[in-house]
Amino acid sequence: MSTVSETISRGQSARRMRVDGWRWGGRVFLVFMLLYTALPMIWMLLTSIKSGFAAMQFPPQWWPDQPTLDSYQKLLDPQNSVGQDFLRFFWNSLIVSTATTILSVIVAVPAAYAFSRFTFPGRNFLFFAVLLRNMFPAVIFLVPLFILMRAIGLVNTHGSLVLTYLTFGLPLAIWLLKGFYDNIPVQLEQAARIDGATRFQAFMLIVMPLSTPGIIATAIYSFIGAWNEYIYAYTFLSKNEQLTLPVGIQRFFSENTTDFPGLMAASFMMSVPVVVLFLLLQRYFVRALTEGAVKH
């Protein structure tokens, strides 16, 4: 009798121990991941509100003695040359990323819809061909694309970047959206067409609203990709007034002596649009990535 109950209780506690072990392991891992991702951001923010001298001290000031927003003021002031440059880079990045995003949605939506709804010769081949580009590292295309851009006179234009980013972003956008359209029953469109809509109206009035989450996810993906891209922007653009933020910041702030607080403030502001965009639209993004995983 007693041996039986002992065995049971020992079994239970052993199981609890094991569960707790995993749980604690998981917590430690999560904390580590949090620090790993958050610490650089925190350090970026802290450095951006230090003076130039304080930023270079060793041992470092963990918390700035005299926090200052000087760097931000300098960057956002259109009167001085630093501010002018920064705001121009920001504007350039915004134009390139927005143009990429809009074009990518305009192309990806009908393309994905066609792949999802129509059968046409070469459909499968084309669909996988779309992915082919993604099988190679982006850098491989740097020189060929540069030569191509030079040949068609697009070097030193934002158009060269938009075109390039589109070729990178579109494949995934089309795949993502196709999955979305696959999950929208074709009967909805048929019903709409019988109810009096043309094929195009059925798409615009019924299918498009249903695929909004997918379109938003696609847009975010394209925007972030274009916003952060460095290598191509660095290669294709050489005129100062055309640079995008990643290249601009890097070039500008390390030209003579590195102004760390300025660099960090600029980096921080560069991350703001992405973070804001993501926070606003994240629920659509998550929905888009998980849609179709479960049948409704």
Q: How far apart are CA 231 and CA 283, in angstroms?
A: 31
Min. distance of Cβ 205 from other proteins in angstroms? Answer: 8
Segment 16 to 45, residues that bind other proteins, using CB under 8 A: none
Q: How far is the CB of 218 from other proteins (least distance, A)?
A: 19
Intra-chain end-to-end CA distance of the chain, in Å: 51
Q: Smaller CB distance to other proteins: residue 190 or 258?
A: 190
State which of residues 31, 33, 38, 191 lies at the interface with other proteins (CB under 8 A). 191
Type of residue at 2: S
For the chain, give the number of residues: 296
- The answer to whether 169 touches 221, Cβ cutoff 8 Å, is yes
The C-alpha atoms of residue 255 and residue 267 are separated, in whole angstroms, by: 16
Using CB under 8 A as the binding rule, the residues of this chain from 267 to 296 that contact other proteins are 296
The Cα 32–Cα 34 span in angstroms is: 5
57 part of the interface to other proteins, by CB under 8 A = no
| 222: its two tokens | 């394209």
Among 49, 206, 247, 249, binds other proteins (CB under 8 A): 206
Grouping H, G, I as helix, E, B as strand and the rest as coil, residue 23 is: helix
* Residues of this chain, 207-266, that bind other proteins according to CB under 8 A: 209-210
| Nearest approach, Cβ of residue 83 and other proteins (Å) | 45
Q: Which residue from 193, 224, 281, 289 is in contact with other proteins, where contact means CB under 8 A? A: 193
- Note whether 138 and 180 are within 8 A (CB): no
Provide the minimum distance between the beta carbon of 282 and other proteins in the complex, in angstroms, as a whole number: 21
User: Contact positions toward other proteins, by CB under 8 A?
Assistant: 185, 187-188, 190-198, 201, 206, 209-210, 296
